[in-house]
Structures are given as structure tokens and as C-alpha cells.
Structure 1
Amino acid sequence: MFVTPAFAQAAGSAGASGGSALMQFLPLIFIFVIMYFLLIRPQQKKMKETRAMIEAIRRGDMVVTQGGIIGKVTHVKEDGSNEVEVEISQGVKVRVVKSSISQVVSKTEPAASAN
């Protein structure tokens, strides 16, 4: 006796569910758009800037590694090994993977070309 009115109400509203389905997903779409602009896009921009900074490292730059070591780049290996040689003290040189460099403190000016 109580079951039939419930089925009757559900059957009556089934025809109007097409528009409400979009309205149910609208808040999820809105949240994703906000997440994209607040989290994903700035992170991608930062990764792009970091990648460009690492690729632009050259001899004479003062760098900071992720371990906090500050040193001067003395040699950049171009053989595809992604390593640089960093002098952390007079006569003390260490090999560092480029991706472990977190910051370039000071950049050297490129040498003027002799024309």
C-alpha cells in the first residue's frame, strides 16, 4: 500500500531529469576550473621556468643545490650526462646533477664575441 505512491512520484519526475543532470555536474565542472587556475596552471608555469633556468646554467654562475650547498659552476658537461662541476671552496670541486640545482644566485654575462 505504501509502495505504489513512491513509484508513481519517481515515474512522474523521470521525464524532467535531462536538465537536472547537467545542473548536478555543473558544480563539479566549476570546481575543476577553479582547481586548474589556482593549482595546476601555476605549477606548470613554475616547472617550465625551472627547466629553462637549469638549461641556461653555464660556467661562472653561482648556484644553490637542493642540499643547500652554494658554489660556482666551473664546468658544464655537454655529453648528455646532465652534470655540472661546482666549486664549493678553493680547490674543492663536486659533480652535481643539473636537476638538483634549485636556484641560480648570480648569472655571468656571456663573453662578447670578437668580430
Structure 2
Amino acid sequence: MADSKHLERVADSLLRIEIELREIDAWSAEPPAPEALQSTQPFCIDTLDFTQWLQFVFLHRMKILVESGQPLPAVSGMAPMAEEHFRGREQAGRGLVRALEEMDRLLSR
């Protein structure tokens, strides 16, 4: 069980990730089709864009865990996925990568 200070830092980090997604105009008001969320592939790579996965899978699930005080994942490697996603794209995701690096550190402590 995570202590309250750690949960607070994780909650702040979730908010930073959401802000970064909004900053780069990657936040969607419309959720993907329910079938897209049923993917068995890591990061729903076959059905969702990485930023959609962040918003509709990762952030959604993490908020539930934080709010209910359930155990958090012990390992996270999202920053490298974000770097790969933004490599060669016009859309700069440096702030999002930094926010994900922070989350990776918090979850892997």
C-alpha cells in the first residue's frame, strides 16, 4: 500500500500528463470504440494511438487505483514508448515525455 505522500505525488503526476496531452492537442473529448479498448496487445498498439492509450487506458485506470487506495503498478516504462511515438513527428512531445519519466520514477521507486 502506498503512503499518502506518494499517492499525492502520483495524482499530481497524472494531472501533469493530462495537461501535457492537452497542450499538444492530443486530448480527445470522444472515447474510442469499446472494441478498441479490448485489445490484448501491450499499450493497445493494434487499436489505439499511444496518446489515446494514455488518456483512455492508463490515466483512467491509474485514477481509479489512486482514488480507491489500491496498489499501484510497481514498474512503468512509458517514457521510452512516448519517445518512440513522437520520433520523426512534427508534434513535439518533450513535455509529455518528461511527465512520463516522472511517473516512471514514481511507480518504479
TM-score w.r.t. structure 2 length? 0.30
Name the structure where helix makes up a greater proportion of residues: 2
TM-score w.r.t. structure 1 length? 0.29
**More relative contact order in 1 or in 2 (CA 8 Å, sep 6+)?**
2
Name the structure where strand makes up a greater proportion of residues: 1
Higher alpha-carbon Rg? 1
